[in-house]
Chains A and B, each alone.
Chain A
């Protein structure tokens, strides 16, 4: 945990380390991080602390040794070129990731890694990039680029707010359910009004913005699930979310 900075007022209630460690692994931050994915990592790191656990933040890049005792997996967006760079390495880790997913480890995969966690990404030119198939979804490249502010209604996390920028369109198979229904924006594709996917404890989404800062309910779902899986129980702290509430209110009013 970062030492308390001089002159800063503490934000949130922090009782670091009293309840155990939660280990977060970022997948491919070097190549898959285009839309503020660091924000998702930072939010987990701080909130784990604010809930009274000790965060451990690890990076996994192409060629690294896969970390042991993973509690939360984070996967970011990236450009098409970044997907090509990580593709082979990701396939070599499909076993580790599938095992973790089946075991109920919480994961957040955004945009590029959402697509590659699915069955395949067929590009506009017809070439097929195989995914690792943890999620029963498929993605097709299009000439249309879906860009702008998004508002999604979800049963689990309430209203989810973010920003989308993708040309791949994803459709869900019967093995997953959507994260929610789009109220503003486009979401997975331009036809069915769905955004994101939910499977076991995986949250997959096209929204960045970053997703977690303005949607602390999803951050806390990942932390709670990790704590329960590791320690059998989750004892929450009391993070101060009043700026998050104001930022949400404001974001909901911004034009597309």
Chain B
């Protein structure tokens, strides 16, 4: 499990949708800037933050389009504040160029993508899990990114806070990825008071003359210059040297991009998060995220009641994928089942990681969630070898 301490006092239960839990999580994480553009099924996050942020001394702005919203979030973060935007698949596509900028220029920010059916405008009010690859590979070029995939309103609250922490600690964009069902269903959630915020940005300090904005220590994360502190640095989306100025020197370019990947690897103990349910002796392990994982959890109980050894592995951190934990959770499994609301995105990743194993997919693209019964039937079939 992740090492960020998420323990804080629980208060009385509230009825909250996933999107409302996200907005509250952002406030409790210390977010003070939101820029967005309305899109179903994410708009409730913006609507709620338009109320909460000004009260908390922050700024809410509805920008002219999705691209502007992402740009404004990066601009605010460059100014030194914790910033958030929320969108859905079509808007997330539009944000991709600037997400790549944030990854390359190392600007912390959080982007919520509430998945809906696609492609294109698709099904705005129907769930989907078809943006899994877009979160990881959507922007051009090579870049690493952190993607968190919570599966309940309570977990959205926690993971929103963790997303801000990871963004600040690793100086990177973090995507919070969940589906329409979890976003818009209301659940009873016991939130704490304001939890401790563990991560504050590492700001540049020390002599200004010798300061290099992209010179990193052992953790691979360079301290960030805050405008007004006198460092007068240059930030660019071009490949750059430690000085921050553009460079196409092969060695410099290679070293810098390598550091971006390495800095996430160095923080894997903070980043990796997952849930493994009854995997110790499982013949079949179901791997799922979001609403499909909720259904799979029920399917595990149903299969176990029928005497079949079925378990569930649920990556909460989707990228970088917690592959060591996956291998541990599936060591007794004869087959892996991947139920998801797409034609096989998570399955492809699991197949890539467990190349010597039997991996089956259960894919639904109708705009409806997969039921526990559908998953239980597929898992039973694998468990009994029928």
The judgment on whether A and B are partners is no
- B contact set with A: CB distance below 8 Å: none
